[in-house]
Amino acid sequence: MYKTILSIIIAAIVLSNCADKEPALTFAVGGAPNEVEYWEKLIEYFTDSTGIKVTLMRQPTDTDQRRQGLVIPLKARKNDPDVFLMDVIWVGQFASSDWLLPLDTYIEADVIDLHSFFSNIISQVDMYNGKLVALPVYNDCGLLYYRKDLLEKYRFPVPTTWYELRKTAVKIQNEERGAAPHIYGFVWQGAQYEGLICTFLEFVASNRGGITDATGNIIVHNRENIEALQFMKELIHRDAISPPNTFTEMKEEEVRLSFENGHALFERNWPYAWGLHKRDESPINDKVGVAILPRFSDGTHAATLGGWHIGISKYADTPDKAWQLVKFIVSYDIQKKLALDLGWNPGRSDLYNDAQIKKHMTHVTVLQKAFENSVARPNLPYYTQVSEVLQRYVNAALSGSITPAEALERAQKEIEEVAQTYHE
């Protein structure tokens, strides 16, 4: 009898130990405190729905710290985290390091229609060497904000080209300077940081230029880019419709506050500014409109793509469960909840025609057009170095210390050296 009881106890202990050693599904996510708290609620809902337990790995709010918190375990080939969110510019870097698990077989098995997402975003960001390595969760891109009241006052339409914007801005700025001496025609991100490259890419892409060609070769020094950069410089120095501190101080919040305080006619910024401009306490809450960014006469509309994408670690010890979590997060219902509850722009394109989303997000039609014309920064493993080079030279051209042509010629040479070092 005693032997039987002892055997049962030992068996129970062994089974308990085995259960304890069963790999846990881990999900790394950061952001603002309210966002992390919301993820905790979603994970509880996922567990209740599927029976799969998830350990949430809290990351900092700071984007660079979040990236570092992923790079360290991935370099060490750690099993955790299994699933994580990536800034749009990390996807190519992580994929080239062979840290991401391809999702193609899961997509095929669950018959998930990739046409439910923006095809241009999937192709530019989430595909690497012909394989799907991530999926969009939250989209972001540049937009044009404008003062409806001032355009109506002077009977100008919302500009669709950069030349129309310049003409309108010069006229209204000059007329308004008497009553508002500090007003400028157009504020945008021109300081030396990553935001400058986002602005630069929008100008050059809308002039049929770019940073790389279809095969990934560096094409910074070309006629289209030089023309676009010259135009950016003229906005500050010749036309004087952008403030002189554009290339020294203007980042997202400096630009937003300038526009919101009535010091600008047009503003280039991200979608987050819309909600802030429309607050009851905002001085312009009933005077602001939003549109897609202009283009050059022979170009196409372009908006630099931002946002967060979800992927699975190649070293995940629970890949099948990890996919269940990914599938849950990119599903129609959860993407809709993220939009309605957090104000996130859905990664799924099919949500932009949802009646409830349209009612809740009044600028959703503009967002849809902008995402359809979005342009991703180069999907290169050494993009960070490319950006650092471009930031220096584009900013120098804006300051007037070097010509746009010379700036891009020097940038071209340095970036080619970076690429060569990486491939050696």
pLDDT computed for residue 22 by the predictor:
73
What CA–CA distance (Å, rounded) separates 95 from 46? Answer: 27
pLDDT computed for residue 296 by the predictor:
98
What's the full length of the chain, in residues?
424
What CA–CA distance (Å, rounded) separates 268 from 285? Answer: 17
pLDDT computed for residue 189 by the predictor:
98
**Which regions of the chain are under pLDDT 50?**
1-20
The packing angle between helices 332-342 and 319-329, to 10°, is 60
pLDDT computed for residue 12 by the predictor:
44
Query: In sequence order, what are the beta bridge partners of 307?
Result: 139
Query: In sequence order, what are the beta bridge partners of 392?
Result: none
pLDDT computed for residue 13 by the predictor:
41
* Architecture in CATH of 143-304+378-423: 3-Layer(aba) Sandwich (3.40)
Pairing mode, strands 143-147 and 184-187? unpaired
| Three-class DSSP category at 58 | strand
pLDDT computed for residue 65 by the predictor:
95
Q: What amino acid is encoded at 387 in this protein? A: S
| Three-class DSSP category at 143 | strand
First to last CA, the chain: 71
pLDDT computed for residue 21 by the predictor:
62
Tokens of 141: 């891109």
Q: What amino acid is encoded at 89 in this protein? A: I
What CA–CA distance (Å, rounded) separates 254 from 227? Answer: 26
Domain ranges of the chain: 2-140+306-375, 143-304+378-423
Same fold, 2-140+306-375 and 143-304+378-423: yes
What CA–CA distance (Å, rounded) separates 152 from 366? Answer: 20
pLDDT computed for residue 368 by the predictor:
98
Tokens of 315: 């070293």
What CA–CA distance (Å, rounded) separates 397 from 406? Answer: 8
Which phi and psi angles does 297 have, rounded to 5°?
-55, -40
- Fold of the domain spanning 2-140+306-375: D-Maltodextrin-Binding Protein; domain 2 (3.40.190)
Q: Which residues contact 226 (CB under 8 A, 6 or more apart)?
A: 404, 405, 408
Q: Where are the alpha helices (DSSP H) in 76-192?
A: 91-96, 104-109, 119-121, 148-153, 162-176
